[in-house]
Amino acid sequence: MRHVEQPPGGTGGRVHSHAELLPWSRRTENRARGLARKHHPGQVPPVMTCRFLAALLAGALLPCPVAAQFLPLTVPRGHVGMELHTGFTSWDQRFRNGTSEPAGTDLSRIGIGGDWLPALSSADLRLARLTGLTGENLNAGSYGVAQLTTLGELGLGLQVGLTSRLTISGLVPLRQVRVQSVTGYDSTGANSGLNPADPGLGSPAGLSSTLAFFLEFDAAIAGIENRLASGTWSGSPVTEALAMGTLTDARLMREDLYALLVAAEIRSPFIPLSGSAVGAALLSRIGELQGRIGTGLGISGFSRQPALPTAAPTSEDWTRYLTNGDGPVAGSLLAPTYMALGDIELGASYLLVDRFGPTVSGTQIRAAIKGTVRLRTSQLDDPNRFLDLGTGDRQPDAEVTLVTDLAKGRAALRLAGWYTRQLAGNQQRRIGPPDRPIQDLATLAALRKDPGDIVGVGVFPGYRLTPTLALVAGAEWWTRGDDNYAYADGQPALEGLDPQTLAIESAASAVTVRAGLTFFHPGDRTVGGSGAPLAASVTWERVVAASGGRVPKAESVRATLRIYSRFW
């Protein structure tokens, strides 16, 4: 159940590549073609030999002029680029409305009441009618969750240059999800306990005692009705009026008490302690009604009281409330570590302008446009696990990215902009606002989610330290629109539950900063021989600011290795 947020941008499985400062110029292309001719057609050059590894270590010291630092979104005609992406992202804090707070805030509450647990809200209304007290709401103690989320990433990519300007690509992302948590419960301030009559949370003795109370209550109501119908008090208008008023009060009290204590799906899991102000007032009102029936009307046999808890919940009681399969929530605090596919990407890039290379004087420029489609191949979070996180959003995306590279001498600048149209997909969700994540199992429904679209821009400067090594930096800003939820086709609407409450505060914006190093060797300066071009990068990034809804304050380290080979 996603009370652990997805990483920034909400595009699970996506490997960001806008800021990679790795070169491929036309001069590099010519070198690659020359290397390919030294091998048989279709044979991949031996890139991972001892000679090449030696070149990887020494390449930064060898004279090897490079036309630019950036890796464009296209690969030259007849060439294949094979990529390996790896890295991890972690966070234990998040931004909400521009303020940093612990990632487990939604699952933490000091003074658990009806503003957090929906069941207690309806219980407060019934207790106010039953006792006449106002402002004495149920308090079930305090609960806190500290969590650390870590996502491991492994992406396998392939790029094929169909023409000198057109490249097709694919990426298969694997993600390992790990959520570590520490939970704590404190009963200080609690004025309620687990309902003894709840079949899943109480006890057989508590249920038996409460049911016996209602048997006596029903018999007393029936006795009043029978005497009024037979005219027992017709000769005493005062007594008859008392009987009619008592019958009305008894019926109303019985209805509220039964809904509070026993009625399936609406009974409250927590009810007042017998020694609390609310509990004492409730027992007093019941006793007052019993006195009117017994003493005022002469109907005996109604003397029992319903079972109320005598002690505040323990940590074990709270865990049982959340996880008991026979209870109203039937959830889980477990979050097993697992690895699964993210959303597979398929794309095509077209080189619009290419004025890079040793023959270009002054400022060099290159621009490319890329279209990407993400498939619904990821694994969603389990709606019954409150700390679970999926490996993606499991709904199709269509993205357009425009990248422009500028370079002069050792300095370079990449400008990127993108628009992501996030298409709708079906999900199983418990319906409720994001800041009230503990919802009963009865709120689970099949929903149609249409995520908000994403628009982003990025600026990434780079500086070539040596012919093969470049320093990179940069920042990107993105904004995501509001999500929309509706019942999926075939799912009956649940009474009183609006799926759109899940979209509260779903719009968000964020700023991410990056820094790293990139390495590129064209392959013709290897020690004692030649090989294929190779590119590598290591990048650190962090979300430093956000506004709107919930955005993980994530920190990431990613590494990319790319090798090229000519196939035709």
Which of 15, 2, 331 minimizes the C-alpha distance to 149? 2
E strand spans, 306-383:
338-341, 345-355, 364-374
DSSP state of 165: S
pLDDT per position as a tens digit, 313-367: 999 999 999 999 989 999 998 888 999 999 999 999 999 998 876 666 678 899 9
Q: Where is average pLDDT lowest: 98-107, 247-256, 530-539?
A: 530-539
| 21 has a pLDDT exceeding 60 | no
pLDDT score for 524: 58
- What's the rounded Cα separation, in Å, for the pair 281 and 136? 10
- What's the rounded Cα separation, in Å, for the pair 51 and 47? 9
| 47 has a pLDDT exceeding 60 | no
How high does pLDDT run on average in the chain? 87
Q: Which residue has the higher pLDDT, 420 or 361?
A: 420
Beta carbons of 342 and 393 less than 8 angstroms apart: no
pLDDT score for 362: 79
- What's the rounded Cα separation, in Å, for the pair 144 and 110? 8
The pTM is what? 0.83
Q: What is the DSSP string of 174-239?
A: EEEEEEEEEEEEE-TT--EEE-TT-TTTS-HHHHHHHHHHHHHHHHHHHHHHHHHHHTTTTT-HHH
pLDDT score for 334: 87
State the pLDDT confidence band at 36, using cuts at 50, 70 and 90: very low
| 42 has a pLDDT exceeding 90 | no
| 25 has a pLDDT exceeding 60 | no
Across the range 414-440, mean pLDDT stands at 96
- What's the rounded Cα separation, in Å, for the pair 565 and 562? 10
Across the range 251-278, mean pLDDT stands at 95
| 19 has a pLDDT exceeding 90 | no
Q: What angle do CA 335, 341, 342 make, to 5 degrees?
A: 90
- Integer angstrom CA distances of residue 197 from 122, 129, 167, 302, 319: 17, 21, 67, 19, 18
- What's the rounded Cα separation, in Å, for the pair 136 and 124? 8
| 31 has a pLDDT exceeding 60 | no
pLDDT per position as a tens digit, 480-532: 999 999 999 999 999 999 999 999 999 999 999 999 998 887 765 444 445 56
pLDDT per position as a tens digit, 211-247: 999 999 999 999 999 999 999 998 899 999 999 999 9
Q: What angle do CA 111, 114, 116 make, to 5 degrees?
A: 70
| 64 has a pLDDT exceeding 80 | no
50: Cβ–Cβ under 8 A, 6 or more apart, which residues? Answer: none
- What's the rounded Cα separation, in Å, for the pair 505 and 546? 13
Chain mean position to CA 378 = 14
Across the range 40-51, mean pLDDT stands at 38
Beta carbons of 93 and 100 less than 8 angstroms apart: yes
